[in-house]
Amino acid sequence: MLNTLSGRFLILTTVFVMLAEVLIFVPSIARFRQDYLKDRLERAQIASLALLADDMLDGALEQELLANAGVYNVVLRRDEMRQLVLSSPIPRPIAGTFDLRDAGALILIRDAMARLIDPENEIIRVIGAPVRDAGLLIEVTIETAPLRETMIDYGVRILLLSAVISVLTAVLLFVAVRIVLVKPIKGVIGYMQRYAAAPEDARGIITPKAGVIELREAEEALQKLQIELTHALKQRERLAQLGGAVAKISHDLRNILTSAQLFTDRIEMSEDPLVRRLAPKLVNSITRAVSLCEGTLAFGRAEEPAPTFGRVCLHEIVDDVAEGENLVSSDVEVEIVNSVPLPTMIRCDKEQIFRVIMNLVRNARQAITATGQSGRITISMREEDEAWWIRVADTGPGLPKKARDNLFTPFQGGARKGGSGLGLAIAAELIKGHGGQLRLGATGAEGTVFEICLPKGDGTV
Position 274 in a domain: no
**Residue 10 in domain:** yes
Long-range CB contact pairs, 103-112, < 8 A, 24+: 103/34, 105/27, 105/30, 108/30, 108/31, 108/33, 108/34, 109/26, 109/27, 109/30, 111/30, 111/33, 112/26, 112/29, 112/30, 112/32, 112/33, 112/34, 112/151
Residue 288 above 70 pLDDT? no
Q: pLDDT tens for residues 202-213? A: 677 888 887 778
Q: What is the predicted pLDDT for the residue at 338?
A: 93
- The reply to whether 285 falls in a domain is no
Cβ-based neighbours of 343, under 8 Å, separated by 6 or more: 313, 315
- Say if 230 falls within a structural domain: no
Last residue of one domain, picked from the residues 120, 154, 170: 170
- Give pLDDT, residue 400: 83
Does any domain span residue 231?
Answer: no
Residues 165 and 314 occupy one common structural domain: no
pLDDT of residue 313: 93
Indicate if the pLDDT at residue 143 is higher than 80.
yes
Asked which of 142, 170, 198 is the last residue of a domain, the reply is 170
User: What residues make up the domain containing 416?
Assistant: 307-455
Residue 241 inside a domain? The answer is no
Name the pLDDT band for 418 (thresholds 50, 70, 90).
Answer: very low
Q: How confident is the model at residue 224 (pLDDT cuts 50, 70, 90)?
A: confident
Model confidence band, residue 460 (pLDDT cutoffs 50, 70, 90) = very low
Please state the rounded mean pLDDT for residues 230-245. 72
Tens-digit pLDDT profile for residues 79-130: 667 777 777 888 888 888 888 887 888 888 888 888 888 888 899 988 888 8
Q: How far apart are CA 42 and CA 229, in angstroms?
A: 81
Q: What is the 3-state secondary structure (H, E, C) of 31-97?
A: HHHHHHHHHHHHHHHHHHHHHHHCCCCCHHHHHHHHHHHCCCEEEEEECCEEEEEECCCCCCCEEEE
- Residue pair 448/440 in contact (Cβ under 8 Å)? The answer is yes
Domain boundary among 170, 191, 213: 170
- Indicate whether 316 belongs to any domain: yes
In SS3 terms, the chain reads as CCCCHHHHHHHHHHHHHHHHHHHHHHHHHHHHHHHHHHHHHHHHHHHHHHHHHCCCCCHHHHHHHHHHHCCCEEEEEECCEEEEEECCCCCCCEEEEEECCCCCHHHHHHHHHHHHHCCCCCEEEEEECCHHHCCCEEEEEEECHHHHHHHHHHHHHHHHHHHHHHHHHHHHHHHHHHHHHHHHHHHHHHHHHHHHHCCCCHHHCCCCCCCCHHHHHHHHHHHHHHHHHHHHHHHHHHHHHHHHHHHHHHHHHHHHHHHHHHHHHHHHCCCCHHHHHHHHHHHHHHHHHHHHHHHHHHHHCCCCCCCCCEEEEHHHHHHHHHHHHHCCCCCCCEEEEECCCCCCEEEECHHHHHHHHHHHHHHHHHHHHHHCCCEEEEEEEEECCCEEEEEEEECCCCCCHHHHHCCCCCCCCCCCCCCCCHHHHHHHHHHHHCCCEEEEEEEECCEEEEEEEEECCCCCC
Total residues found in the chain within this entry: 461
Residue pair 185/66 in contact (Cβ under 8 Å)? The answer is: no
The answer as to whether 184 is a domain residue is no
More confident: 367 or 11: 367
Per-residue pLDDT, averaged over 54-74, amounts to: 72
Q: What is the 3-state secondary structure (H, E, C) of 283-312?
A: HHHHHHHHHHHHHHHHHHCCCCCCCCCEEE
Q: For residue 140, count CB atoms less than 10 angstroms from its CB and return exposed for 0-12, middle for 13-18, buried for 19 or more.
A: buried
Q: Euclidean distance between the first and final Cα of the chain, in Å?
A: 57
Over residues 180-200, mean pLDDT: 80
CATH code where residue 373 lies: 3.30.565.10
Q: Which residue has the higher pLDDT, 159 or 149?
A: 149
Total number of domains constituting the chain:
2
Verify that 10 and 157 share a domain, yes or no.
yes
